[in-house]
């Protein structure tokens, strides 16, 4: 048995079944069902139920990470057309668009290899921003937002930036999870020690910080997979302070009027990412609440002490 769905006349998903096996194909790439089925079942169903009838649409794909996805959603006015159909290559891309561009439907296309330009030319796909263009932007020493505006020939100052859209159900779910962890929702610090684009800080840094915060009467909440992006946003918004290694998730929080301590460390490819991704360049960031630190030119012990002092005044 074979089910096939098409977009612009091109097979997107193909499922082949027999008595002994089932194979699934995304853009011509086969995934073994046993390993990937939980990840892709919902996407297949959504695609079959909602988009199999669509024709003559432009397909745009998000290849980049969480931080860039926030910027794309925030600036969709300048690149998104009503005829576009948006696909994310990470599940979290959908979460980001629901928060910052809820009017734009977005689908998840799994982790297919979508980065070859010739594939797009053949199949009428277009990346919102190809990885090679992203690298070029990062190498020009300008901030990413400035480069993105120049790339689009856009004036981002004309956008009225709205706070993230969070449902009441999500807010309540976040509070319930905090309660299950016995967190004093009125007096806690939100810690974010993980990032993909930065070298991690020593575990001792976070252990010492947690110990000192607790000694001053604060509870601690670590960002974890237990929380969805929107739930973590809710909890961070209620915290007394946010301390984070600079990551893409920080982009979702930078609008919050909560003291935020953002730490930049070394990046394997660029050395220092602060000049390109500083929140001081983001028009939607609550700059007066953000302090940025950089281990490339500041001692870690001094950063730690400054965070603790300013967070417990």
The Cα–Cα gap between 208 and 46 comes to: 46
Sheet holding 58-62, edge to edge: 106-108, 84-88, 58-62, 125-127
* Confidence (pTM): 0.80
Question: In the chain, at which residue ranges do the beta strands (DSSP E only) sit?
Answer: 2-7, 10-17, 22-26, 29-32, 58-62, 84-88, 106-108, 125-127, 188-192, 219-222, 241-245, 260-264, 266-267, 271-272, 290-294
The Cα–Cα gap between 192 and 206 comes to: 9
Question: For 211-235, what is the HEC assignment?
Answer: HHHHHCCCEEEECCCCCCHHHHHHH
Which residues, 6 or more positions from 48, have their beta carbon under 8 angstroms from its beta carbon?
3, 5, 13
Q: Alpha-carbon Rg of the chain, whole angstroms?
A: 21
Mind listing the pLDDT tens digit of every residue in the chain (313 residues)?
A: 334 443 333 344 455 666 665 655 544 434 444 444 444 444 444 444 444 444 556 677 787 789 999 999 999 999 998 877 787 877 788 899 999 999 888 876 654 444 444 443 344 456 687 667 777 887 787 888 999 999 999 999 999 999 999 999 999 999 999 999 999 999 999 999 999 889 999 999 999 999 999 999 999 999 998 999 999 999 999 999 999 999 999 999 999 999 999 999 998 877 888 988 999 999 999 999 999 999 999 999 999 999 998 876 6
Domains of the chain: 2-158 (no CATH), 168-311 (3.40.50.2000)
């Amino acid at each position: 048995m074979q089910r096939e769905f098409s977009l612009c006349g091109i097979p997107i998903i193909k499922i082949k079944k027999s008595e002994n096996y089932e194979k699934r194909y995304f853009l011509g790439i086969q995934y073994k069902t046993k390993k990937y089925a939980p990840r892709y079942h919902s996407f297949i169903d959504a695609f079959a139920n909602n988009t199999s009838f669509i024709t003559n649409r432009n397909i745009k794909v998000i290849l980049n990470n969480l931080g860039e996805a926030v910027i794309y959603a925030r600036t969709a006015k300048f690149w998104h057309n009503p005829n576009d159909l948006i696909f994310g290559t990470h599940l979290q891309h959908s979460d980001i668009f629901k928060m910052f561009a809820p009017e734009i439907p977005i689908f998840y296309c799994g982790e297919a290899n979508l980065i070859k330009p010739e594939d797009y030319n053949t199949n009428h796909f277009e990346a919102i921003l190809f990885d090679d263009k992203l690298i070029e932007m990062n190498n020009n020493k300008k901030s990413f937002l400035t480069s993105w505006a120049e790339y689009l020939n856009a004036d981002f100052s004309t956008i009225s930036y709205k706070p993230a859209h969070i449902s009441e159900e999500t807010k309540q779910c976040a509070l319930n999870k905090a309660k299950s962890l016995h967190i004093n929702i009125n007096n806690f610090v939100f810690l974010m020690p993980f990032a993909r684009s930065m070298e991690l800080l020593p575990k001792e840094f976070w252990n010492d910080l947690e110990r000192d915060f607790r000694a001053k009467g604060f509870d601690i909440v670590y960002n974890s997979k237990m929380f969805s992006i929107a739930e973590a946003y809710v909890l961070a918004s209620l915290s007394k302070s946010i301390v984070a290694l600079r990551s893409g998730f920080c982009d979702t929080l930078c609008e919050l009027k909560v003291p935020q301590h953002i730490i930049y460390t070394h990046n394997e490819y660029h050395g220092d990412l602060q000049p390109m991704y500083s929140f001081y360049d983001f028009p939607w960031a609550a700059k007066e609440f953000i302090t940025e630190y950089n281990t490339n030119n500041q001692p870690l012990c001094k950063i730690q002490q400054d965070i603790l002092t300013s967070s417990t005044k």
